[in-house]
């Protein structure tokens, strides 16, 4: 396992839909290990494979002291309830914006050994699962903001000191959520 540079907003890999995992092999377990280690090192609540430059449908989370991962996730909202909450992204370091998400979700998928798993989450876990699933579709949380908030967010991000650094920070100096 190793800590891997995190791709930043502006890197095309973050806008590329990821492919389903077909082989549940040693490389997949290595990927889950790298995602986990990189996420923990960066202090994040979740990390998706495209964020470390791997176009596969895999993400990890660390919420309420619980580590998890999901391969080829299928996520469904449970009920109608939504909530606004401050959200950040390791690929957009240093920023948090209020984003509306479903309060409850159910997710099915596989673990790295190929066993089917089901995850039900609310609040922060539900938010993380929705955020990371978006990454697998090339969607970033700023896309989910309303027009005015998104315009302001993109303007702020364009001014970030890391903007235009070629897609990754060699060392993460800030600790965004």
Catalytically active residues are: 132
Stretch that binds Ni ion, among 68-76, 84-92, 148-156, 161-169 (CB under 5 A): 84-92
Residue 24 or 85: which CB sits closer to Ni ion? 85
- Segment interacting with Ni ion, rule: CB under 5 A, options 23-31, 53-61, 85-93, 122-130: 85-93
Distance CA 135, CA 50 (A): 7
HSE at residue 16, side-chain half, CA atoms within 13 A, is: 16
Minimum CB separation from Ni ion for residue 116, in Å? 25
CB of 25 to Ni ion, least distance (A): 26
89 lies in the binding site for Ni ion (CB under 5 A):
yes
Selection from 1, 91, 109, 94 nearest residue 48 by Cα: 91
Buried b (16+ CB within 10 A) or exposed e, 62-77: bbeeeebbbbbbebee
Tell me whether residue 114 or residue 154 sits nearer to Ni ion (CB atom). 154
Are the beta carbons of 29 and 37 closer than 8 angstroms? no
Smallest distance, Å, CB 26 to Ni ion? Answer: 26
Size of the site for Ni ion (CB under 5 A): 1
Torsion of CA 20, 24, 26, 31, to 10 degrees: 30
Residue whose C-beta lies closest to Ni ion: 89
Q: Which CB sits closer to Ni ion, 24 or 63?
A: 63
Q: Where do contacts with Ni ion occur on this chain (CB under 5 A)?
A: 89
């Amino acid at each position: 396992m190793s800590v891997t540079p995190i791709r930043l907003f502006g890197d095309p890999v973050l806008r590329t839909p990821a492919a389903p995992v077909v082989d549940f092999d040693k490389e997949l377990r290595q990927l889950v290990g790298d995602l986990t280690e990189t996420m923990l090192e960066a202090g994040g609540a979740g990390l998706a494979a495209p964020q470390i430059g791997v176009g596969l449908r895999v993400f990890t989370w660390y919420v309420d002291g619980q580590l998890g991962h999901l391969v080829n996730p299928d996520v469904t909202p449970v009920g109608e309830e939504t909530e606004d909450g401050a959200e950040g992204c390791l690929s957009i370091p240093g920023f948090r914006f209020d984003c509306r998400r479903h309060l409850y979700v159910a997710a099915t998928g596989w673990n790295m050994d190929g066993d089917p798993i089901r995850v039900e989450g609310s609040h922060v876990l539900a938010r993380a699962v929705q955020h990371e699933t978006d990454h697998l579709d090339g969607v970033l949380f700023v896309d989910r903001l309303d027009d005015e908030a998104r315009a302001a967010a993109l303007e702020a991000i364009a001014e970030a000191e890391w903007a235009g650094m070629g897609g990754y920070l060699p060392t993460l100096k800030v600790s965004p959520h």
